[in-house]
Structure 1
Amino acid sequence: MKQPLSGYRVIDTTAMVSGPLATMQLADQGAEVLKIERPDVGDYTRLASNQRHGFSASYLNNNRNKRSVALNLKEKAGRDALLRLCADADVFVQNFRPGVAERMGIGEDDIRAVAPDIVYCSISGFGDAGPYASYPVYDPLVQALSSLASIQGGADEARPRLVRTIVPDKLTGYIAAQAITAALLARANGAPGQHVRVSMLDAVIDFLWHSDMNSQTFVGDEFDQARAASFIDLIYETTTGYISVAVQTDKEWQALIAALDTPEWNDDPRFDTPASRQDNIDARLQLTQEKLAENSAEHWLERLSTHGVPCAPVLTRTDLLSHDQIAANAILIETDHQEAGRLRQARPAARFSQMPAADYRGAPALGADTHAVLAANGFSESDIDALVAAGAIGPTHESS
């Protein structure tokens, strides 16, 4: 039985994280993804730190299940080879700054000339228009411009803080993958191939509006969020480590009181309604912290769970590897990479009930599939030799 996207071909000219993550989602769901790379260095994440046998963890974790084709797109012969590959493709993805793909000769019009119904996806940093459109972009800049850094700081007047993971990059990848799939579905239902545009800035602002922009929702009644509800995180220290406890409803509040054996809190007018508990959040959280500091994480997690209070341990990255909940859902997988050795990664988050278990293939070496892909697409040995002589393709390797 095939995977959901089996039979679709994706030409992936992206690099770094947002684009490669998007196309890896498609590859994990069965699409044939041809990763087009510069013959000299390839995707820049290949050069990142934390490497084994020439493969960085960053590259491996965003390029699973792809095939690498090393083409020099600065050479006409390299661009012509790319266009031949596009002729039978369903999707083309690029994440150059706006205007660059067109100057390279691989803009939408160029690709659609050989593949009229292709889904062409452009991923950018700040969008196609505006004063920032042509600026170089990195994740922290989008966190800043989208107001995410201000939100993470806790209040408008507080010092902004970055989220300690590249949310804009990764979120954009997931949104692009979903949008590409939607465009393919629309095409299957009779719509023409179309241009899907996704920017990191669009992705983050859309993401924030569902929970963090209530103060800006009612036109004419906007207000600054100059004061944070609380700067105390819902992370509590115990005698043996940290846990998280979160209560919202009256039922959960009463369960917390019972679990902590603090009946006197029922008589405190600061906590008698959900609204008053929110108004006095700092006092409530401080009292909770003082009580939880009296015993171990193990003690409190068992007691809180018994009373039905939402809670969880705070795991380190190392702790996560052996936690029962992660193991029970088989979230982590281990595979053997031909060159990088034994790898641990997260399986795709979405699972399909009528699809077989995925057969994971490790991220390829630079140019590992160039010869095989070209040969399978009608290039003769003499054609390939001519491309090598012209500097249009890089050295070929056996696929990993």
Structure 2
Amino acid sequence: MTCKYPAAGPLAGIRVVDLTSVISGPGAMGLLADQGADVIKVEPPQGDIMRHRGDDENFTPGFVSVNRGKRSMVLDLKNPGAAPVLWKLIATADVFAQNFRPGVIERLGFDPDTVLARHPELVYLSISGVGRNGPYVKKRVYDPVVQALSGFADIQADPVSKRPKMIRTLIADKTTAVYASQAVLAALLARERSGKGQHVEVAMLDTMVTYIWPEAMAPFSKIGVENMDAASTLHDMIFPTADGYITLGAVSDKEWFALCHAIQCPHLIDDPRFQTAGLRNKNRQERMEEIEAALGPFRTAEIIATLEAADVPCAPVLSRWEMLSDPQVQANDIIHKIDQPGLGPIRQARAAAKFSATPNAPVPPAPGLGEHTVKVLESLGYGMDEIATFINTGVAAQA
């Protein structure tokens, strides 16, 4: 089969059957597609819901970001005639992924026990909101629900009003995507060694509890001495300057000394509140207030240059538009322009990881709904008459 975007990358030769939708599942399988896997996105006749959350029919920038490089085929899994086709497709795959609500995949007849009984070498991924057991399993779950349940919104709470706050990006969905893709690769490595596949389960709630644990749950980690009143300090590490904002950090004694000299406050070195790393952490709010007062008169470019000369970790706070033209972002060549059918020229961030021996292909577009239905069915051995029957009876659809 001729492909405009030939397989490249470390996962070339791995096939994924992707029944996932929205962000977490498509993002996980999108990471595999970025690294060369042949990901066949199996969509219902109406398509992934994320296709329709914008002004352009069947495409949104968000959909493109997590589905680029995949192939799309439409199968109506509620139609009994679709099951034999999906079974035939699964027989060609290394990975099967789904993120239906609990009970749906069982009703469709493609639950992990059934699928792995027929294909024990398969890696079967299930992504869920909160897991498959417990009181919340029937809840409809999106990213903000997980931020609320995991303690993440509490971490962001306003220190004065105590009102919890959400992160204004889909952090639970996207972090789950990263965890899930890593778990699939671990299972593929285990299969390489044992010859056996397995069921991999990743819950968004589990992901975010694990994610926040190292520093955010420190007050609750040591059993018997939990700090039940632990709260964030007032300061958010954003410092206003005369013409903008910066952030900075000084963890080691060397960095602290350098910072005090750079902001022309050497007296802070001998201040009894800040003489050790422990004291600086204990008196964090007072330390931040001293730094903020000292930084106020400086212009951003001036103080950044001074801090960098002193080897103090720092950066200007950029808007998203400014980020696109930042010289380091440009030096990394991370932002690429692609031609996305249905949208036109768009920007996309390339895959973050770069491979010296197995480089990824150039950033490809996302598929149209059912764009590859016929080609995939042909590759499974179906003739054109059979394919026409599938389409006429609603089993499948094409773009």
Same fold (TM over 0.5): yes
Find out whether 1:125 has 2:119 as its counterpart: no
Alignment match, 2:111: 107
In the TM superposition, what whole-angstrom CA distance separates every residue of 1:86-136 from its partner, at most 9, and x where no partner exists?
Answer: 111111000011221011112123323543311111000010100001111
Alignment match, 2:196: 192
Q: Is the Cα contact below 8 Å between 1:246 and 1:310 reproduced in 2? A: yes
Letter in 2 for 1:282: Q
Alignment match, 1:24: 30
Q: Is the Cα contact below 8 Å between 2:35 and 2:360 reproduced in 1? A: no
Find out whether 1:70 has 2:83 as its counterpart: no
Within 5 Å, give how 1:119-268 maps onto structure 2.
119-153=123-157, 158-228=162-232, 230-268=233-271
Shift of 1:217: 1.7
TM-score with structure 1 length normalisation? 0.94
Distance between the aligned counterparts of 1:93 and 1:327, measured in 2?
A: 35
Shift of 1:338: 3.3
In the TM superposition, what whole-angstrom CA distance separates every residue of 1:335-392 from its partner, at most 9, and x where no partner exists?
Answer: 2223322121111111111113423321001000000110111011111111112211
Find out whether 1:320 has 2:323 as its counterpart: yes
- Partner of residue 11 from structure 2, selected from 5, 11, 15: 5
Q: Is the Cα contact below 8 Å between 1:155 and 1:226 reproduced in 2? A: no
Which is further off, 270-279 or 200-209? 270-279
- Partner of residue 49 from structure 2, selected from 30, 33, 44: 44
Q: What SS does the aligned partner of 2:216 have? A: coil
Q: What SS does the aligned partner of 2:67 have? A: coil
Distance between the aligned counterparts of 1:72 and 1:95, measured in 2?
A: 16
Q: Is the Cα contact below 8 Å between 2:176 and 2:207 reproduced in 1? A: yes
Distance between the aligned counterparts of 2:224 and 2:245, measured in 1?
A: 43
Q: What SS does the aligned partner of 1:70 have? A: strand
* Structure 1 vs Structure 2 CA RMSD: 1.7
Letter in 1 for 2:105: A
Distance between the aligned counterparts of 1:69 and 1:134, measured in 2?
A: 29
Distance between the aligned counterparts of 1:156 and 1:8, measured in 2?
A: 52
| Over 3 Å off, 4+ runs | 51-54, 154-157, 225-228
Find out whether 1:350 has 2:353 as its counterpart: yes
Distance between the aligned counterparts of 1:4 and 1:357, measured in 2?
A: 7
Q: Percent identity?
A: 42
Distance between the aligned counterparts of 1:157 and 1:289, measured in 2?
A: 22
Alignment match, 1:333: 336
Q: What SS does the aligned partner of 2:66 have? A: coil
Letter in 2 for 1:341: G
In the TM superposition, what whole-angstrom CA distance separates every residue of 1:35-55 from its partner, at most 9, and x where no partner exists?
Answer: 00011x200000112x44652
Q: Is the Cα contact below 8 Å between 2:336 and 2:363 reproduced in 1? A: no
Q: Is the Cα contact below 8 Å between 1:89 and 1:115 reproduced in 2? A: no
Q: Is the Cα contact below 8 Å between 2:130 and 2:205 reproduced in 1? A: yes
Shift of 1:278: 2.2
Alignment match, 1:35: 41
Q: Is the Cα contact below 8 Å between 1:156 and 1:224 reproduced in 2? A: no
Distance between the aligned counterparts of 2:362 and 2:216, measured in 1?
A: 39
Q: Is the Cα contact below 8 Å between 1:9 and 1:88 reproduced in 2? A: yes
Q: Is the Cα contact below 8 Å between 2:36 and 2:360 reproduced in 1? A: no
Q: Is the Cα contact below 8 Å between 1:168 and 1:204 reproduced in 2? A: yes
Q: What SS does the aligned partner of 1:211 have? A: helix
Which is further off, 383-392 or 356-365? 356-365
Shift of 1:157: 8.5
Letter in 2 for 1:29: Q
Which is further off, 68-77 or 359-368? 359-368
Distance between the aligned counterparts of 1:264 and 1:368, measured in 2?
A: 67
Cα 1:86–1:156 change in 2 (3 A) is farther
Cα 1:201–1:48 change in 2 (3 A) is same
Cα 1:383–1:110 change in 2 (3 A) is farther
Q: Is the Cα contact below 8 Å between 2:20 and 2:100 reproduced in 1? A: yes
TM-score with structure 2 length normalisation? 0.94
Q: What SS does the aligned partner of 1:367 have? A: coil
Distance between the aligned counterparts of 1:190 and 1:2, measured in 2?
A: 26
Letter in 1 for 2:49: Y
Q: Is the Cα contact below 8 Å between 1:5 and 1:29 reproduced in 2? A: yes
Which is further off, 212-221 or 301-310? 212-221
Distance between the aligned counterparts of 2:269 and 2:153, measured in 1?
A: 37
Point out where structure 2 has 5 or more consecutive residues left out of the alignment.
1-6
Q: What SS does the aligned partner of 2:322 have? A: helix
Q: Is the Cα contact below 8 Å between 1:9 and 1:31 reproduced in 2? A: yes
